[in-house]
Structure 1
Amino acid sequence: MPSIEDPRNARSRRTRHALLVATRELIEQDGLPALTMTSAAERAGVSRRAAYLHFGSRNELIIALYRHLGETERLGESLQAVWDAPDAVSALTEWAAHIARAHPRILSVSRAVETARHDDPGAAAMWQFTMDNWLRGCTRLAEWLERDGVLHPAWTVDAARDMIWSLMSWDLLERLTIDRTWTTDEFAGRYSALLTATFVDPSRRL
Protein backbone atom coordinates (compact mmCIF):
# COMPACT_ATOMS: atom_id res chain seq x y z
CA MET A 1 0.00 0.00 0.00
CA PRO A 2 1.28 3.54 -0.74
CA SER A 3 2.61 5.41 2.27
CA ILE A 4 0.72 8.42 3.55
CA GLU A 5 3.93 10.31 2.83
CA ASP A 6 3.84 9.55 -0.90
CA PRO A 7 1.48 12.41 -1.91
CA ARG A 8 3.58 14.85 0.09
CA ASN A 9 6.77 13.56 -1.53
CA ALA A 10 5.19 13.80 -4.97
CA ARG A 11 4.18 17.41 -4.30
CA SER A 12 7.66 18.14 -3.04
CA ARG A 13 9.23 16.73 -6.21
CA ARG A 14 6.85 18.76 -8.36
CA THR A 15 7.65 21.93 -6.44
CA ARG A 16 11.38 21.36 -6.73
CA HIS A 17 11.08 20.64 -10.45
CA ALA A 18 8.94 23.74 -11.01
CA LEU A 19 11.49 25.92 -9.24
CA LEU A 20 14.34 24.55 -11.36
CA VAL A 21 12.38 25.02 -14.58
CA ALA A 22 11.51 28.56 -13.53
CA THR A 23 15.15 29.28 -12.69
CA ARG A 24 16.28 28.10 -16.11
CA GLU A 25 13.64 30.20 -17.86
CA LEU A 26 14.53 33.33 -15.90
CA ILE A 27 18.24 32.98 -16.65
CA GLU A 28 17.71 32.21 -20.33
CA GLN A 29 15.32 35.09 -20.87
CA ASP A 30 16.65 37.82 -18.59
CA GLY A 31 20.08 36.73 -17.33
CA LEU A 32 21.35 36.02 -13.82
CA PRO A 33 20.44 39.45 -12.39
CA ALA A 34 16.75 38.58 -12.84
CA LEU A 35 17.03 35.54 -10.61
CA THR A 36 16.04 35.86 -6.97
CA MET A 37 14.37 33.39 -4.68
CA THR A 38 11.22 35.50 -4.97
CA SER A 39 11.24 35.69 -8.77
CA ALA A 40 11.85 31.95 -9.05
CA ALA A 41 9.01 31.22 -6.63
CA GLU A 42 6.61 33.55 -8.42
CA ARG A 43 7.41 32.08 -11.82
CA ALA A 44 7.08 28.54 -10.46
CA GLY A 45 3.74 29.38 -8.84
CA VAL A 46 4.86 28.52 -5.33
CA SER A 47 5.46 30.48 -2.16
CA ARG A 48 8.79 32.05 -1.31
CA ARG A 49 8.80 29.90 1.81
CA ALA A 50 8.48 26.77 -0.34
CA ALA A 51 11.45 27.91 -2.40
CA TYR A 52 13.58 28.24 0.73
CA LEU A 53 12.43 24.85 2.01
CA HIS A 54 13.91 23.26 -1.12
CA PHE A 55 16.94 25.49 -1.63
CA GLY A 56 18.57 27.24 1.27
CA SER A 57 19.89 30.10 -0.82
CA ARG A 58 20.03 31.51 -4.32
CA ASN A 59 23.53 30.04 -4.73
CA GLU A 60 22.22 26.61 -3.81
CA LEU A 61 19.44 27.01 -6.37
CA ILE A 62 21.94 27.89 -9.11
CA ILE A 63 24.15 24.89 -8.35
CA ALA A 64 21.07 22.65 -8.30
CA LEU A 65 20.21 23.97 -11.76
CA TYR A 66 23.55 22.67 -13.06
CA ARG A 67 22.67 19.15 -11.94
CA HIS A 68 19.12 19.58 -13.25
CA LEU A 69 20.45 20.49 -16.69
CA GLY A 70 22.65 17.41 -16.66
CA GLU A 71 19.65 15.21 -15.94
CA THR A 72 17.06 16.79 -18.21
CA GLU A 73 19.43 17.22 -21.15
CA ARG A 74 20.99 13.77 -20.59
CA LEU A 75 24.49 15.21 -20.56
CA GLY A 76 25.87 12.30 -18.58
CA GLU A 77 24.54 9.81 -21.09
CA SER A 78 26.09 11.80 -23.93
CA LEU A 79 29.45 11.98 -22.16
CA GLN A 80 29.42 8.29 -21.31
CA ALA A 81 29.68 7.55 -25.03
CA VAL A 82 33.15 9.09 -24.88
CA TRP A 83 34.36 6.80 -22.11
CA ASP A 84 32.77 3.77 -23.78
CA ALA A 85 34.90 4.30 -26.91
CA PRO A 86 37.28 1.41 -27.72
CA ASP A 87 40.43 3.56 -27.87
CA ALA A 88 41.72 7.07 -27.26
CA VAL A 89 41.47 8.26 -30.86
CA SER A 90 37.86 7.11 -31.08
CA ALA A 91 37.21 8.79 -27.74
CA LEU A 92 38.56 12.06 -29.12
CA THR A 93 36.13 11.84 -32.04
CA GLU A 94 33.28 11.01 -29.66
CA TRP A 95 34.30 13.95 -27.49
CA ALA A 96 33.71 16.26 -30.45
CA ALA A 97 30.34 14.61 -31.08
CA HIS A 98 29.39 15.01 -27.40
CA ILE A 99 30.14 18.72 -27.42
CA ALA A 100 28.27 19.18 -30.70
CA ARG A 101 25.12 17.42 -29.50
CA ALA A 102 25.07 18.36 -25.81
CA HIS A 103 26.51 21.83 -25.35
CA PRO A 104 24.06 23.71 -27.62
CA ARG A 105 21.25 22.55 -25.30
CA ILE A 106 22.71 24.50 -22.40
CA LEU A 107 24.38 27.33 -24.29
CA SER A 108 22.02 30.12 -23.25
CA VAL A 109 22.24 29.31 -19.53
CA SER A 110 26.00 28.83 -19.71
CA ARG A 111 26.54 32.13 -21.48
CA ALA A 112 24.44 33.93 -18.88
CA VAL A 113 26.48 32.33 -16.10
CA GLU A 114 29.73 33.21 -17.86
CA THR A 115 28.67 36.84 -18.21
CA ALA A 116 27.71 37.15 -14.54
CA ARG A 117 30.46 35.10 -12.92
CA HIS A 118 32.71 38.02 -11.97
CA ASP A 119 30.01 39.82 -9.99
CA ASP A 120 27.60 37.08 -8.92
CA PRO A 121 28.72 34.52 -6.30
CA GLY A 122 26.15 31.97 -7.47
CA ALA A 123 27.29 32.28 -11.06
CA ALA A 124 30.92 32.07 -9.95
CA ALA A 125 30.22 28.85 -8.04
CA MET A 126 28.38 27.28 -10.97
CA TRP A 127 31.12 28.38 -13.37
CA GLN A 128 33.87 26.89 -11.20
CA PHE A 129 31.92 23.66 -10.77
CA THR A 130 31.57 23.43 -14.56
CA MET A 131 35.23 24.20 -15.25
CA ASP A 132 36.39 21.63 -12.70
CA ASN A 133 34.29 18.97 -14.44
CA TRP A 134 35.62 20.01 -17.84
CA LEU A 135 39.20 19.78 -16.63
CA ARG A 136 38.66 16.31 -15.22
CA GLY A 137 37.31 15.13 -18.56
CA CYS A 138 40.12 16.77 -20.51
CA THR A 139 42.71 15.24 -18.19
CA ARG A 140 41.19 11.80 -18.69
CA LEU A 141 41.30 12.23 -22.47
CA ALA A 142 44.89 13.47 -22.54
CA GLU A 143 46.06 10.67 -20.25
CA TRP A 144 44.26 8.12 -22.45
CA LEU A 145 46.03 9.42 -25.56
CA GLU A 146 49.35 9.16 -23.75
CA ARG A 147 48.58 5.69 -22.40
CA ASP A 148 47.67 4.45 -25.89
CA GLY A 149 50.93 5.87 -27.23
CA VAL A 150 49.17 8.15 -29.74
CA LEU A 151 49.62 11.60 -28.19
CA HIS A 152 51.28 13.98 -30.64
CA PRO A 153 54.94 14.49 -29.62
CA ALA A 154 54.44 18.26 -29.56
CA TRP A 155 52.23 17.88 -26.48
CA THR A 156 52.68 16.88 -22.87
CA VAL A 157 49.66 15.48 -21.09
CA ASP A 158 49.19 18.69 -19.12
CA ALA A 159 49.51 20.93 -22.17
CA ALA A 160 47.12 18.76 -24.18
CA ARG A 161 44.63 18.83 -21.31
CA ASP A 162 44.78 22.61 -21.15
CA MET A 163 44.35 23.07 -24.89
CA ILE A 164 41.45 20.58 -25.17
CA TRP A 165 39.84 22.45 -22.28
CA SER A 166 40.31 25.83 -23.96
CA LEU A 167 38.76 24.51 -27.19
CA MET A 168 35.54 23.82 -25.26
CA SER A 169 34.98 27.59 -25.23
CA TRP A 170 31.37 28.74 -25.41
CA ASP A 171 32.60 31.47 -27.79
CA LEU A 172 33.79 28.87 -30.28
CA LEU A 173 30.51 26.98 -30.16
CA GLU A 174 28.34 30.09 -30.42
CA ARG A 175 30.29 31.69 -33.25
CA LEU A 176 30.25 28.59 -35.41
CA THR A 177 26.80 27.14 -34.74
CA ILE A 178 24.89 30.41 -34.38
CA ASP A 179 26.84 33.20 -36.08
CA ARG A 180 28.15 31.00 -38.91
CA THR A 181 25.13 28.64 -38.81
CA TRP A 182 27.10 25.38 -38.87
CA THR A 183 24.89 22.36 -38.34
CA THR A 184 25.52 19.97 -35.47
CA ASP A 185 27.00 17.43 -37.88
CA GLU A 186 29.26 20.01 -39.51
CA PHE A 187 30.51 21.21 -36.15
CA ALA A 188 31.11 17.66 -34.88
CA GLY A 189 32.98 16.56 -38.01
CA ARG A 190 35.20 19.62 -38.28
CA TYR A 191 35.84 19.79 -34.56
CA SER A 192 36.82 16.12 -34.59
CA ALA A 193 39.20 16.76 -37.50
CA LEU A 194 40.78 19.63 -35.58
CA LEU A 195 41.27 17.57 -32.43
CA THR A 196 42.70 14.61 -34.32
CA ALA A 197 45.10 16.72 -36.38
CA THR A 198 46.25 18.58 -33.28
CA PHE A 199 46.60 15.90 -30.64
CA VAL A 200 47.15 12.55 -32.41
CA ASP A 201 50.62 11.51 -33.54
CA PRO A 202 50.55 11.55 -37.38
CA SER A 203 52.37 8.21 -37.51
CA ARG A 204 49.57 6.60 -35.47
CA ARG A 205 46.59 7.94 -37.42
CA LEU A 206 44.56 5.50 -39.50
Structure 2
Amino acid sequence: MSSKNLETRLRILEVTLQMLEENRGQGVRMADIAKCANVSRQAIYLHFASRAELLNATTKFLDERLDLDRRLAPSRAASSGQDRLALYVEFWGNYIPEIYGVAKALLLVLDSDDAAAAAWQERMAAMRHGCRAAIDMLHSEHRLASEWTPESATDVLCTMLSVANWENFTSVCGWSNQQYVERMKAIAERSLLKNESAP
Protein backbone atom coordinates (compact mmCIF):
# COMPACT_ATOMS: atom_id res chain seq x y z
CA MET A 1 0.00 0.00 0.00
CA SER A 2 1.43 3.38 -0.98
CA SER A 3 2.10 5.96 1.72
CA LYS A 4 -0.72 8.11 0.31
CA ASN A 5 -3.18 5.22 0.46
CA LEU A 6 -2.04 4.35 3.97
CA GLU A 7 -2.48 7.97 5.03
CA THR A 8 -6.02 8.00 3.61
CA ARG A 9 -6.89 4.72 5.33
CA LEU A 10 -5.60 6.00 8.67
CA ARG A 11 -7.52 9.27 8.28
CA ILE A 12 -10.73 7.34 7.61
CA LEU A 13 -10.16 5.19 10.71
CA GLU A 14 -9.36 8.23 12.86
CA VAL A 15 -12.52 10.00 11.74
CA THR A 16 -14.69 6.91 12.20
CA LEU A 17 -13.33 6.40 15.71
CA GLN A 18 -13.95 10.04 16.60
CA MET A 19 -17.48 10.02 15.19
CA LEU A 20 -18.40 6.80 16.98
CA GLU A 21 -17.27 8.23 20.30
CA GLU A 22 -18.87 11.65 19.79
CA ASN A 23 -22.17 10.45 18.34
CA ARG A 24 -22.51 7.26 20.41
CA GLY A 25 -22.91 5.37 17.13
CA GLN A 26 -26.04 7.23 16.10
CA GLY A 27 -26.09 8.35 12.49
CA VAL A 28 -22.50 7.46 11.69
CA ARG A 29 -22.99 6.96 7.96
CA MET A 30 -20.40 6.36 5.28
CA ALA A 31 -21.28 9.70 3.68
CA ASP A 32 -20.69 11.53 6.96
CA ILE A 33 -17.38 9.77 7.49
CA ALA A 34 -16.31 10.63 3.95
CA LYS A 35 -17.19 14.29 4.46
CA CYS A 36 -15.32 14.57 7.77
CA ALA A 37 -12.30 12.70 6.38
CA ASN A 38 -12.33 14.92 3.27
CA VAL A 39 -12.51 11.94 0.91
CA SER A 40 -15.14 10.59 -1.42
CA ARG A 41 -17.44 7.72 -0.48
CA GLN A 42 -15.79 5.76 -3.28
CA ALA A 43 -12.43 6.29 -1.57
CA ILE A 44 -13.80 4.72 1.60
CA TYR A 45 -15.06 1.70 -0.33
CA LEU A 46 -11.63 1.29 -1.94
CA HIS A 47 -10.25 0.69 1.54
CA PHE A 48 -13.23 -0.98 3.22
CA ALA A 49 -15.62 -3.18 1.26
CA SER A 50 -18.55 -2.50 3.59
CA ARG A 51 -19.58 -0.47 6.61
CA ALA A 52 -19.26 -3.62 8.72
CA GLU A 53 -15.66 -4.00 7.58
CA LEU A 54 -14.96 -0.36 8.40
CA LEU A 55 -16.44 -0.60 11.90
CA ASN A 56 -14.57 -3.83 12.55
CA ALA A 57 -11.32 -2.25 11.31
CA THR A 58 -11.98 0.73 13.58
CA THR A 59 -12.20 -1.46 16.69
CA LYS A 60 -8.92 -3.13 15.70
CA PHE A 61 -7.39 0.28 15.03
CA LEU A 62 -8.33 1.29 18.57
CA ASP A 63 -6.75 -1.92 19.91
CA GLU A 64 -3.53 -1.12 18.07
CA ARG A 65 -3.53 2.43 19.39
CA LEU A 66 -4.00 1.14 22.94
CA ASP A 67 -1.23 -1.46 22.44
CA LEU A 68 -3.50 -4.42 23.10
CA ASP A 69 -0.87 -7.14 22.58
CA ARG A 70 1.56 -5.57 25.05
CA ARG A 71 -1.18 -5.23 27.62
CA LEU A 72 -2.28 -8.85 27.18
CA ALA A 73 1.30 -10.15 27.49
CA PRO A 74 1.27 -10.63 31.30
CA SER A 75 -1.82 -12.85 31.25
CA ARG A 76 -0.53 -14.79 28.25
CA ALA A 77 2.78 -15.41 30.04
CA ALA A 78 1.21 -16.43 33.36
CA SER A 79 2.69 -19.55 34.91
CA SER A 80 -0.57 -20.82 36.40
CA GLY A 81 -4.24 -20.80 35.52
CA GLN A 82 -5.09 -18.86 38.67
CA ASP A 83 -2.59 -16.15 37.74
CA ARG A 84 -3.82 -16.08 34.16
CA LEU A 85 -7.41 -15.67 35.31
CA ALA A 86 -6.53 -12.82 37.69
CA LEU A 87 -4.34 -11.06 35.14
CA TYR A 88 -6.95 -11.35 32.40
CA VAL A 89 -9.68 -9.93 34.64
CA GLU A 90 -7.32 -7.10 35.58
CA PHE A 91 -6.44 -6.42 31.95
CA TRP A 92 -10.05 -6.37 30.78
CA GLY A 93 -11.31 -4.35 33.73
CA ASN A 94 -8.73 -1.66 33.02
CA TYR A 95 -9.29 -1.84 29.26
CA ILE A 96 -13.05 -1.27 29.30
CA PRO A 97 -12.83 2.41 30.35
CA GLU A 98 -10.54 3.10 27.40
CA ILE A 99 -12.77 1.46 24.80
CA TYR A 100 -16.04 2.43 26.46
CA GLY A 101 -16.87 5.26 24.04
CA VAL A 102 -16.71 2.97 21.01
CA ALA A 103 -18.27 0.04 22.90
CA LYS A 104 -21.22 2.16 24.00
CA ALA A 105 -21.64 3.52 20.48
CA LEU A 106 -21.88 0.01 19.06
CA LEU A 107 -24.09 -1.28 21.88
CA LEU A 108 -26.63 1.52 21.44
CA VAL A 109 -27.32 0.61 17.82
CA LEU A 110 -26.95 -3.18 17.85
CA ASP A 111 -30.63 -3.86 17.25
CA SER A 112 -30.90 -1.50 14.29
CA ASP A 113 -27.44 -1.63 12.73
CA ASP A 114 -26.19 -4.93 11.31
CA ALA A 115 -22.71 -3.52 10.69
CA ALA A 116 -22.37 -2.40 14.30
CA ALA A 117 -23.66 -5.78 15.48
CA ALA A 118 -21.08 -7.60 13.36
CA ALA A 119 -18.25 -5.42 14.68
CA TRP A 120 -19.40 -5.95 18.27
CA GLN A 121 -19.73 -9.71 17.82
CA GLU A 122 -16.16 -9.91 16.56
CA ARG A 123 -14.93 -7.84 19.52
CA MET A 124 -16.78 -10.10 21.96
CA ALA A 125 -15.45 -13.23 20.26
CA ALA A 126 -11.92 -11.95 20.92
CA MET A 127 -12.77 -11.24 24.57
CA ARG A 128 -14.30 -14.71 24.90
CA HIS A 129 -11.13 -16.23 23.47
CA GLY A 130 -9.14 -14.56 26.27
CA CYS A 131 -11.57 -15.85 28.88
CA ARG A 132 -11.44 -19.36 27.43
CA ALA A 133 -7.63 -19.40 27.48
CA ALA A 134 -7.64 -18.72 31.22
CA ILE A 135 -10.35 -21.31 31.85
CA ASP A 136 -8.58 -23.94 29.73
CA MET A 137 -5.39 -23.42 31.72
CA LEU A 138 -7.28 -23.91 34.98
CA HIS A 139 -8.92 -27.02 33.55
CA SER A 140 -5.61 -28.50 32.38
CA GLU A 141 -4.21 -28.01 35.89
CA HIS A 142 -7.34 -29.63 37.43
CA ARG A 143 -8.04 -26.35 39.25
CA LEU A 144 -11.42 -25.65 37.67
CA ALA A 145 -14.27 -26.20 40.14
CA SER A 146 -16.02 -29.49 39.46
CA GLU A 147 -19.44 -27.93 38.81
CA TRP A 148 -18.12 -26.22 35.68
CA THR A 149 -17.22 -27.44 32.23
CA PRO A 150 -14.72 -25.25 30.37
CA GLU A 151 -17.59 -24.02 28.18
CA SER A 152 -19.95 -23.11 31.02
CA ALA A 153 -17.13 -21.50 33.02
CA THR A 154 -16.24 -19.41 29.98
CA ASP A 155 -19.90 -18.40 29.65
CA VAL A 156 -19.94 -17.22 33.27
CA LEU A 157 -16.63 -15.35 33.05
CA CYS A 158 -17.64 -13.56 29.83
CA THR A 159 -20.93 -12.50 31.38
CA MET A 160 -19.23 -11.32 34.56
CA LEU A 161 -16.85 -9.16 32.50
CA SER A 162 -19.46 -7.72 30.17
CA VAL A 163 -19.39 -4.01 29.44
CA ALA A 164 -22.97 -3.77 30.74
CA ASN A 165 -21.93 -5.16 34.14
CA TRP A 166 -18.90 -2.86 34.31
CA GLU A 167 -21.18 0.08 33.46
CA ASN A 168 -23.68 -0.87 36.17
CA PHE A 169 -21.06 -1.34 38.89
CA THR A 170 -19.11 1.83 38.10
CA SER A 171 -21.92 4.17 37.03
CA VAL A 172 -24.93 2.98 39.01
CA CYS A 173 -23.36 1.37 42.07
CA GLY A 174 -20.55 3.90 42.33
CA TRP A 175 -17.62 1.47 42.41
CA SER A 176 -14.26 2.89 41.39
CA ASN A 177 -12.57 1.07 38.55
CA GLN A 178 -9.99 -0.28 41.00
CA GLN A 179 -12.77 -1.66 43.20
CA TYR A 180 -14.37 -3.25 40.13
CA VAL A 181 -11.13 -4.97 39.14
CA GLU A 182 -10.31 -6.25 42.62
CA ARG A 183 -13.84 -7.43 43.35
CA MET A 184 -14.25 -9.16 39.99
CA LYS A 185 -10.93 -10.96 40.47
CA ALA A 186 -12.12 -12.18 43.87
CA ILE A 187 -15.53 -13.24 42.56
CA ALA A 188 -14.01 -15.05 39.58
CA GLU A 189 -11.56 -16.97 41.76
CA ARG A 190 -14.17 -17.92 44.35
CA SER A 191 -16.65 -18.99 41.69
CA LEU A 192 -14.41 -20.84 39.27
CA LEU A 193 -11.46 -22.27 41.20
CA LYS A 194 -11.60 -25.60 42.97
CA ASN A 195 -11.46 -25.30 46.74
CA GLU A 196 -8.13 -26.99 47.48
CA SER A 197 -9.02 -27.44 51.16
CA ALA A 198 -12.16 -29.42 50.37
CA PRO A 199 -11.91 -33.17 51.07
TM-score (norm 1): 0.87
Give every structure 1 segment of 4 or more consecutive aligned residues whose post-TM-superposition deviation is greater than 4 Å. Answer: none
Q: Do the aligned residues in 2 keep the contact of 1:63 with 1:125 (CA within 8 Å)?
A: yes
Are 2:164 and 1:171 equivalent residues in the alignment? yes
Match of 1:89 in 2: 82
Local SS of the residue matching 2:2:
helix
Match of 2:48 in 1: 55
Local SS of the residue matching 1:32:
coil
- What residue ranges of structure 2 are gaps of 5+ in the alignment? none
Q: Which has the higher contact order (CA 8 A, sep 6+)?
A: 2
Deviation at 1:153, TM superposition (A): 2.1
Q: Deviations over 1:97-130 (max 9, x none)?
A: 1012212111121122122122211012112212
Match of 1:71 in 2: 64
Match of 2:16 in 1: 23
1:22 and 1:140 map into 2 onto residues whose CA distance is 34
Q: Do the aligned residues in 1 keep the contact of 2:88 with 2:130 (CA within 8 Å)?
A: no
Using the TM superposition, name which of 28-37 and 105-114 deviates more.
28-37
Identity of aligned residues (%): 26
Local SS of the residue matching 1:203:
coil
Are 2:101 and 1:108 equivalent residues in the alignment? yes
2:94 and 2:154 map into 1 onto residues whose CA distance is 21
Match of 1:33 in 2: 26
Q: Deviations over 1:55-101 (max 9, x none)?
A: 22222211111211111112222223211111000111101110122
Q: How many residues are aligned here?
A: 198
Local SS of the residue matching 1:64:
helix
Are 2:183 and 1:186 equivalent residues in the alignment? no
Using the TM superposition, name which of 48-57 and 178-187 deviates more.
178-187
Are 2:65 and 1:43 equivalent residues in the alignment? no
Q: Do the aligned residues in 2 keep the contact of 1:117 with 1:124 (CA within 8 Å)?
A: yes
1:76 and 1:180 map into 2 onto residues whose CA distance is 31
Q: Deviations over 1:145-196 (max 9, x none)?
A: 1111211222222211110111121111112233444333222211111111
2:27 and 2:192 map into 1 onto residues whose CA distance is 42
- What residue ranges of structure 1 are gaps of 5+ in the alignment? 1-7
TM-score (norm 2): 0.90
2:152 and 2:182 map into 1 onto residues whose CA distance is 23
Q: Do the aligned residues in 2 keep the contact of 1:20 with 1:68 (CA within 8 Å)?
A: yes
Local SS of the residue matching 2:136:
helix
Deviation at 1:204, TM superposition (A): 6.5
Deviation at 1:50, TM superposition (A): 2.2
